[in-house]
Amino acid sequence: MPVSAEAFTALALALEGTEERPHFDRRAFRVARTFATLAADGRSANLKFLPEEQAVRCQTLPKAFSPVANKWGDQGWTTLDLSAIDADTAQAALRMAWRHALPKPRARRKRG
């Protein structure tokens, strides 16, 4: 069953620490950094994967995932067609992108 914009939003906001903010004509979901944006028409979303993760997603589900068609796509930003996935796939993709947006642990200072 396709994922609605409302369901995608609920899945994103269920991830710990996630906030929703406007991002140009889109809605952005972020923790320390943005990890997903939802198109104004609610039909697609962009998610931030590592380039290797993007390649696997696009190869295994080419009707659902495709690289963003510009330099952002080269950095792992991936378009997700919400009509081509189910809630479990959307949740897994969001969780993967969310992990990359978590705050980086601070390096310990050496005492000495």
Residues 8-46 pLDDT 10s: 999 999 999 999 999 888 999 999 999 999 999 999 999
pLDDT classification of 104: cutoffs 50, 70, 90: confident
- CA nearest 40: which of 26, 23, 22, 20? 26
Q: How confident is the model at residue 1 (pLDDT cuts 50, 70, 90)?
A: confident
pLDDT of residue 89: 96
**Domain ranges in the chain?**
5-101
pLDDT at 78: 98
Enter the pTM of the model.
Answer: 0.90
- Tell me which fold the domain 5-101 belongs to: Aspartate Aminotransferase, domain 1 (3.90.1150)
pLDDT digits (tens, 9 = 90+) for 67-84: 999 999 999 999 999 999
SS3 letters across 81-93? EHHHCCHHHHHHH
Angle between helices 87-101 and 5-13 (to 10 degrees): 40
